[in-house]
Amino acid sequence: MSEPSPKIDRELEAFRQVMEVPSTFREGFSWSSLFGALFIGVLMVPGAMYMSLLAGQGLGAAAQWVTVILFIEVARRAHRMLNRAEIFVLFFMAGAMMTSMAMGQGLLWNQFFARSLSAREYGIAEHLPTWFAPPPESESYSQRTFFHLDWMPVIGLLIFTTFFSRLSELILGYGLFRAASDVERLPFPMAPIGAQGVMALAEDVDERDQAARQKSWRWRAFSIGGAIGLAFGSVYLLLPTLTGTLTGTPFMIFPIPFSDWTGKTESVLPAVAMGMAWDLGHLITGMVLPFFGMVGSFVGLVITFVLNPVLYHPDVGVLTSWRPGDDTIATTFKNNVDFYFSFGIGVSIAIAVAGIAQIVRSVVSRRRRQGARDGPRGMSTPEGRGDIRLRWVFACYLLVTLTYILVCGWLIDWHRGVMIVLVLLGFVYTPLISYVTARLEGMVGQVVEIPMIREASLILSGYEGVKVWFLPIPIANYGEMTVFYRQAELTGTKFTSIWKAQIVLYPVILLCTILFANFIWGLAEVPSPVYPFAQKMWELQAANSCIMYSSTLGEYSIFEDAFRWRYLFAGAGFGVVLFGVMSSVGAPIFLTYGVVRGLGQSMPHVIIPQFIGALLGRYYFQKRLGLKWRQYVPVVAAGYFCGQGLIITLGVGVTFLSKAVIRMPF
């Protein structure tokens, strides 16, 4: 009897085979790519950093689309047409620049955390190492500058970490892609979504292709989304940016980052954070993401609406810290300490273990079927794709991991327990979780993470102090990069052009992010009323971070209040039951992961508009537009964020010009 084929998830099938791999691959790196990187670094990075502090969102994909469209138009007027590969490399470089803004944000976060109320109250601030932030008495804080000798160790470690992380991401992610795509022949169902926008622009450029002209719906959809982004961005982001610049107090029609209704609903829903985020981008994101994932998130949120009041009831006595009058921030933090910190770990562990087991069964079953049909299978590599020998991948892995371990050992004074942890995380956990994630991305477009591995390992190492939490530990999940390489393959881009672009890009990233982080800090204290999102949320993030940092102080800490084995086991049991029930009834896999997300103390302020967007997409637009909706909506979303990015860039440009005026002393 032949072995039955695995059950097919219909929603996953809707994402598969949207695009085919081309027969030829082209070089995408050119001088225009370099100019694109400089454009992003000088204009987009500071705007993205500013908006992340103002509204909690960067320019993200918007900056990528703005850059690509601008360079396409410049090339068109120079009587030159950019091919798909060149557009993709531009898109990649713009994305890498926007991701790099986390470096600048990290510096701004460090200066805040070292002086934050939470760090002082929980005894963290006095133990912070000088390669995380200078001590509070450093004059760099009063001068608000990173260009000070006290910040040199911080910047030096930042340069080291970013260089080796980018090297390992690109090379090790490539090796995992070879295993998942060339050997296992996995479909990567989510990869075509990211490539659709690039294809839209490429089809608009290549007017000689009759088939491209017939598929010009992509450009129309992109333009519609761009117009919506321009209109809404003017009201939601441009208005508070300009008014904040002129008056010092931003004027908001829609509250940023959200409206807080916790105090109004506490009599009906005690210990429940309630509110609404008014960013239209959440609605559009709900349309783009898998429908059952959004349904699961909403179901998980409803469960917390029912569960929290029960846990708060005096007869149950679990959520004991919450008090009437607490806002969203206080409610979320107190509930996290009382219950959800441990419960969430348990649920995540159960789902991760179940996911790994499912992958192992799938691998065994697939190889048996493949072996029965074709016998032993080797690696098939498309010609001209720009591949390298796998021995260089292994050499890179050894170099990066050993370097991380040696640098960490030097910073931690070669603590024996920590050194053992570093070896296990670098040579055992990282390759294992990366391969599992690569297969999961290839099969169902999901990422698997085993929660608290890093944290538990450091606690068990026996180290006392907080230095260990800020080490550049060799733990990463490189499996997520496999989707990027699949997108490059779908657009016919040689992999060598991506690596060339990264070599040119790295020094530009370093210079721009450090320079503009210093400039933004010089404009105003971070956080402050000028940056409402940072002022609202950063103290909560600092308090949550202190829960874990306090665990290695060697004395009673808030971690002991938050970590409780009975709640962890309760979460694990719930996760096992959830996964078992969902699998037995044949529920879509996205539904399971969505429920876990909704239970993880996610803000209802974001989940509710995303769920509304999912309902509109499935039951209104999809019925009107048919199956093509799944192709339309990613392009519309890309256009929306592009339009919003344009209007944000305008506002930030005005702000920077007004703040950069030099006042003469006479």
At residue 212, the pLDDT reads 47
Tens-digit pLDDT profile for residues 3-59: 344 444 455 555 555 556 677 888 888 777 777 777 777 777 777 787 778 766 665
Residue 2, domain member (yes or no): no
Please give the tally of structural domains in the chain.
1
Residue 8: left if φ>0, alpha if ψ -120 to 50, beta else—which one?
beta
* C-alpha span between 47 and 516 (Å, rounded): 9
Least confident of 177-186, 257-266, 311-320, 651-660: 651-660
Between 651 and 119, the higher pLDDT residue: 119
Tens-digit pLDDT profile for residues 205-218: 554 444 444 445 66
> Tokens 């996911």 identify what position?
355
Mean pLDDT of 362-381: 57
Per the prediction, the chain carries an average pLDDT of 79
Give exposure, 463-479, as e/b (b: 16+ Cβ within 10 Å).
Answer: beebbbbbbbbbbbbbb
Among residues 486, 511, 600, which one has the least CA distance to residue 177?
486
Tens-digit pLDDT profile for residues 586-640: 777 667 767 766 665 567 788 889 899 989 988 888 888 766 777 778 778 877 8
Share of the chain above pLDDT 70, in %: 79
* C-alpha span between 560 and 541 (Å, rounded): 18
Between 376 and 125, the higher pLDDT residue: 125
Between 155 and 342, the higher pLDDT residue: 155
Residue 14, domain member (yes or no): no
Burial zone of 393 (CB within 10 Å; 0-12 exposed, 13-18 middle, 19+ buried):
middle
Give strand ranges (E) for 442-589: none
pLDDT beyond 70 at 292: yes
- Contact between residue 86 and residue 495 where contact means Cβ atoms under 8 Å apart: no
Residue 664, domain member (yes or no): no
Confidence category of residue 400, pLDDT binned at 50, 70, 90:
very high
Residue 665, domain member (yes or no): no
pLDDT beyond 80 at 541: yes
Domain encompassing residue 278: 27-658
Give exposure, 98-135, as e/b (b: 16+ Cβ within 10 Å).
Answer: bebbbbbbebbbbbbbbebebbeebbbbebbbebbbbe
* C-alpha span between 631 and 197 (Å, rounded): 10
Does the global pTM surpass 0.85?
A: no
- How far from the centroid of its chain's Cα atoms is residue 71's Cα? 26
Confidence category of residue 2, pLDDT binned at 50, 70, 90:
very low
